[in-house]
Structure 1
Amino acid sequence: MERIEHRACFGGWQDVYEHASDTLDCTMRFAVYLPPQAERARLPVLYWLSGLTCNEQNFITKAGAQRYAAEHGVILVAPDTSPRGDDVPDADGYDLGKGAGFYVDATQQPWATHYRMYDYVVRELPALIEANFPVTDGRGISGHSMGGHGALLIALRNPGRYRSVSAFSPIVAPSQVPWGEKALGAYLGDDRSAWAQYDATALIADAPERLALLVEQGEADEFLEGQLKPQLLRAACEAAGHPLELRMRPGYDHSYYFIASFIGEHIEHHARALRDGG
């Protein structure tokens, strides 16, 4: 593991690391923000999963999250969204291949060797973080769009592993929208029953843990009706009695202007859960 960026930020350090990933069989990068409290104490971690076309840079340069992480004493970890490298297969378009890992473990060729972002986020990356940084066992997870989808499904599939989960503009039902149908079909094959394990709305009914979901959604989001469909998550949560706070925000779109406007509230939400849980 090699540190390739090191920048002072709100009394702490915004770093980027590069490492050889066994899970993805390629070189990966992830960003870590260490608030000033990390110099003297172990702190909880909030994992952030970014959306389509993004890498580890988008969140750390656009969201303004470091200010709030420093205020609340939370370490931020932001991985890339997909495997990278000349040997990694890609596709035409922004919604499949590099920059579009969808946080699944692919089973179909040519994707299966490298596209294992679910396993990377759940196992390999936290193991690296917990071995090399001053962290507690308090974990939260959040994300945007494709990353919001990833945060929700990962929290739902791993009871007890995360103390908090939130999402901005998540793809809540990828099995029922074009982005998800394209990606899940390519990565997992045509058997839609295999898709359910990566579909938050499908997972709600049998979720073994009632971890509260916080979802932030802009009402002016250009993808709201065609790709996001938060009403499907609301209906699934109501049917299952699963706690959900769905905040519909008038005027806000899908951009990082939206995330920057409310990321402070989300970090406070996670910090409270991580503190009270530990």
Structure 2
Amino acid sequence: MELIEQHTCFGGRQEVWRHRSGVLDCEMRFAVYLPPQARQRRLPVLYWLSGLTCSEQNFITKAGAQRHAAEHGVILVAPDTSPRGDGVANDEAYDLGQGAGFYVNATQAPWSSHFRMYDYVVDELPRLVEAHFPADDRRSISGHSMGGHGALVVALRNPGRYRSASAFSPIVAPSQVAWGEKAFAAYLGDDREAWKAYDAVELLRTAPEKLPLLVDQGDADEFLESQLRPELLRAAAEVAGHPLQLRMQPGYDHSYYFIGSFIGEHIAHHAAALR
């Protein structure tokens, strides 16, 4: 691994690392915030998954999360949103290809050679973090939009692996909205049964672990009705008896201004679960 960026921040260090990913077969970058407590002991980790068009930079420069992570003694890890590079398949549209990995394991050419973000987030990245940083095996996960979808799916598919899960403006039912239908058809093929493995609403119906979910959604979000559909998650949770705190926040949109307004509450929520 190669350290390519570091900054002192709220008594800790914000770092960005580059490494060769065996899972994705390309060079990858991820951000790590080490709060000041990491100099004395191993700490739990909150993984953050970002949305369409983002890299590891958006969260660390816009969310204001480091202050809260330093307060609670939580390491923050934010990977890039897809494999990247000249040899990696891409598309001219913003919602497919590089910057739009959707946190799935692609099965269709040309995407299947590199686009295995689910395995990267669940397995490879935590192994690196726990081997190379003062991190223990207490994990939580959160994310925004496409990354909110990823966080919910990863948590629901891996009972016992995460202490808590939350999301901002998640794509809760990608099988039923245009962003998800386009990406899933490309990455997973036309068999909609295969899509259910990466659809939070579908997974919630039979989730073996009732991990409480915290979801914040702005009611002024321009994608609310067309792409996000939080009411579908609420309905599925009610039917399944799955604990869900869905907070509709008046006046907030899809931006990092929204995330920055509530990230402190989310980190406090995760810190309580990670104790």
Q: Please indicate the TM-score interval, normalised by the length of the shorter structure.
A: over 0.9
Q: Does 1:230 align with 2:217?
A: no
Q: Does 1:99 align with 2:99?
A: yes
TM-aligned CA deviation for residue 231 of structure 1:
0.1
**Residue equivalent to 2:220:** 220
Q: Does 1:7 align with 2:10?
A: no
**Residue equivalent to 2:263:** 263
CA–CA distance in structure 1, aligned partners of residues 120 and 209 of structure 2: 22
SS of match in other structure, 2:4: strand
Matches within 5 A, 1:1-278: 1-275=1-275
Q: What letter corresponds to residue 261 of structure 2 in structure 1?
A: S
CA–CA distance in structure 1, aligned partners of residues 179 and 92 of structure 2: 14
Q: What letter corresponds to residue 205 of structure 1 in structure 2?
A: R
CA–CA distance in structure 1, aligned partners of residues 237 and 205 of structure 2: 8
User: Percentage identity across aligned positions?
Assistant: 76
Q: What letter corresponds to residue 29 of structure 2 in structure 1?
A: R
Cα-to-partner distance string for 1:59-79 (whole Å, 9 max, x where unaligned): 000000000000000000000
Cα-to-partner distance string for 1:243-275 (whole Å, 9 max, x where unaligned): 000000000000000000000000000000001
Cα-to-partner distance string for 1:130-168 (whole Å, 9 max, x where unaligned): 000111211000000000000000000000000000000
CA–CA distance in structure 1, aligned partners of residues 246 and 207 of structure 2: 18
CA–CA distance in structure 1, aligned partners of residues 246 and 101 of structure 2: 25
Q: What letter corresponds to residue 207 of structure 2 in structure 1?
A: A
TM-aligned CA deviation for residue 3 of structure 1:
0.5
CA-based RMSD: 0.3
SS of match in other structure, 2:139: strand
Cα-to-partner distance string for 1:174-207 (whole Å, 9 max, x where unaligned): 0000000000000000000000000000001110
- Any runs of at least 4 consecutive aligned residues in structure 1 with deviations exceeding 6 A, and if so which? none
CA–CA distance in structure 1, aligned partners of residues 98 and 8 of structure 2: 30
**Which structure 2 residue ranges, 5 or more long, are not aligned?**
none
CA–CA distance in structure 2, aligned partners of residues 103 and 9 of structure 1: 29
CA–CA distance in structure 2, aligned partners of residues 273 and 261 of structure 1: 21
CA–CA distance in structure 1, aligned partners of residues 94 and 234 of structure 2: 28
CA–CA distance in structure 2, aligned partners of residues 235 and 43 of structure 1: 36
Q: What letter corresponds to residue 12 of structure 2 in structure 1?
A: G
Q: What letter corresponds to residue 191 of structure 2 in structure 1?
A: D
CA–CA distance in structure 2, aligned partners of residues 231 and 54 of structure 1: 26
Q: What letter corresponds to residue 70 of structure 2 in structure 1?
A: A
Question: So what's the TM-score if we normalise by structure 2?
Answer: 1.00
**Which structure 1 residue ranges, 5 or more long, are not aligned?**
none
Q: What letter corresponds to residue 271 of structure 2 in structure 1?
A: A
TM-aligned CA deviation for residue 92 of structure 1:
1.6
Cα-to-partner distance string for 1:28-55 (whole Å, 9 max, x where unaligned): 0000000000000110000000000000
Question: So what's the TM-score if we normalise by structure 1?
Answer: 0.99
SS of match in other structure, 2:113: coil
SS of match in other structure, 1:96: coil
